[in-house]
Structure 1
Amino acid sequence: MGSVPRVALVTGANKGIGLAIVQQLCRQFSGDVVLTAQDEAEGQAAVKQLQAEGLSPRFHWLDIDDLQSIRVLREFLRKEYGGLDVLVNNAGIALKHGDPTPLHIQAEVTMKTNFFGTRAVCTELLPLMKPQGRVVNVSSIMSFAALKTCSSELQQKFMNETITEEELVGLMNKFVEDTKKGVQQKEGWPDIKAVPYAVSKMGVTVLSRIHARNLNEQRRGDKILLNACCPG
């Protein structure tokens, strides 16, 4: 048995930022790069596109809304690589501006994927991270806009250095519930366009701080670096 190759994995990687990240990893990362996508055909097409450029990513199906799908991927990584070196949580959804879907449904759908899907991937895959591993959660510049326009009471909760994952989950669920009741502005949530997207990404940014803190406390010697990046 030779040594196991290093492995980097990107979620939601069949187009846009995710595809560009896979492309650059294939060029710069010494190891295997796994491109994942929710739609198998689109994922395979993206792999072919990169192969035409002389790059060789691997494909694995992943729907971050489907826990079973995340666990199948986890077992694949464990069996093939004994863990994971680089994880880029890029998968997410953004409804088109002016989408006629009622706000509370937009909130529910967007939160389910962007926050709870990303969190599920972290829950299942962070334990697989190898020493010196790197995790990047792709958030959004909108997360700062959301934070700045929340009530000061909500700002304090989100910026609290010791906020727990459970408390954050409670806040994300409360946002969805408040939109259902139509009281989101009264309850101090931001009044900006694309508010469900912005709040879901604020959740991702704060979740990243919590996970970085936990990794630092529980696996300090492993020097795993976890960041959120906020394009936009």
Structure 2
Amino acid sequence: MSRVAVVTGANKGIGLAIVKGLCKQFDGTVYLTARDESKGQEAVKELNEQGCQPRFHQLDVLSLDSIHRFKQHLEKEHQGLDVLVNNAGVMYGRSNPTPLVEQVEVTMGINFFGLLNLTKALMPLLKPHARIVNVSSGLGDLSYVTPERRQTFQSKQLTEEELVQMMEQFVSDVKSGVHEEKGWKMEPLAYRVSKMGATALSMVQQRQFDADPAADIVVNAVCPGWVRTDMGGPNAGRSVDKGAETPIYLALLPPNVSSPRGEFLRDKKILSF
């Protein structure tokens, strides 16, 4: 049975670079997924011309139906999954005129809830020694939240249900216009909170998987750094290939590795959260 790797939001930028790297280093089938089918197919064609042979499948992490169809495809074609790189993400620029409520709903929907829903859907397919990489960001720094909320995010007793409730409450507070008085005052607001959630979720998920240590399933969050992408802009200091290095490293961690497990990394080094 061949090994399988999946990268979300992979038709451009860091996601595309991760697919390219995995095609060269991963012994198995690599899926390039994207919400827009034509853009995804064009990205596959681009990689084909560079000697890489990823497979494409449409995937919109905002759509439970799309997630379900993709799960069914993996189940039928491969009966399992070895690597999941949750790279799909969005960030609204500071001058973007989109109303804050819409920014928060879309950003949290993709960056946190989409990541959560896809991972939970694919969990039954994870093979022993599977690796999950959640692309997060240093912008999800907990120094921007109150000491009490920071303690909650960092708690080793934090459950998935509690984290989801906190993220849902954040969205509700924004809709009600009370988010600032609740301590959510950072900019860009939606992106920072979504990445706090993604990093914390990685640690929660690792504790869940540690209940079955024999399966050796490892989850880590990663900050790729400031990368020259549509999101990062042309003045960023890193190339997409540099941004992809640590996600690829985490995706290819060897069996039974003792560290990193449930950590937040940048440049292959563990950072505090």
- Same fold at TM > 0.5: yes
Q: Match of 2:210, SS?
A: helix
Please give the TM-score of this superposition, normalised by the length of structure 1. 0.94
What is the aligned partner in structure 2 of residue 157 from structure 1?
Answer: 152
What is the aligned partner in structure 2 of residue 229 from structure 1?
Answer: 222
Give the whole-Å Cα distance in 1 for the aligned partners of 2:65 and 2:98: 28
Q: Match of 1:176, SS?
A: helix
What is the aligned partner in structure 1 of residue 194 from structure 2?
Answer: 200
What is the aligned partner in structure 1 of residue 163 from structure 2?
Answer: 168
Residue identity opposite 1:163 in structure 2: L
1:1-232 alignment runs, 5 A limit: 4-144=1-141, 147-189=142-184, 191-217=185-211, 219-232=212-225
Q: CA deviation at 1:182?
A: 2.0
- Render the CA deviation track for 1:110-138: whole Å, top value 9, x for unaligned: 11111111100011012211111111010
Give the whole-Å Cα distance in 2 for the aligned partners of 1:74 and 1:15: 23
Q: Show structure 2 runs of 5+ residues with no match.
A: 226-273
Please give the TM-score of this superposition, normalised by the length of structure 2. 0.80
- Render the CA deviation track for 1:19-66: whole Å, top value 9, x for unaligned: 000000001111110100000000000000000001100000100011
Judging by fraction of residues, say which structure has more helix. 1
Residue identity opposite 1:221 in structure 2: A
Give the whole-Å Cα distance in 2 for the aligned partners of 1:105 and 1:39: 21
Q: CA RMSD in A?
A: 1.0
Q: CA deviation at 1:195?
A: 1.1
Residue identity opposite 1:227 in structure 2: N
Give the whole-Å Cα distance in 2 for the aligned partners of 1:108 and 1:198: 13
Which piece of structure 1 moves more, 105-114 or 198-207?
105-114
Residue identity opposite 2:217 in structure 1: I
- Render the CA deviation track for 1:172-196: whole Å, top value 9, x for unaligned: 111111112222121122x222111
Give the whole-Å Cα distance in 2 for the aligned partners of 1:60 and 1:154: 38
Q: Match of 1:72, SS?
A: helix
Q: Show structure 1 runs of 5+ residues with no match.
A: none
Give the whole-Å Cα distance in 2 for the aligned partners of 1:184 and 1:28: 44
Give the whole-Å Cα distance in 2 for the aligned partners of 1:226 and 1:83: 17
Residue identity opposite 2:216 in structure 1: K
Q: CA deviation at 1:82?
A: 1.2
Q: Match of 1:133, SS?
A: strand
The count of residues paired between Structure 1 and Structure 2 equals 225
Give the whole-Å Cα distance in 1 for the aligned partners of 2:50 and 2:134: 26
Residue identity opposite 2:72 in structure 1: E
Give the whole-Å Cα distance in 1 for the aligned partners of 2:194 and 2:52: 33
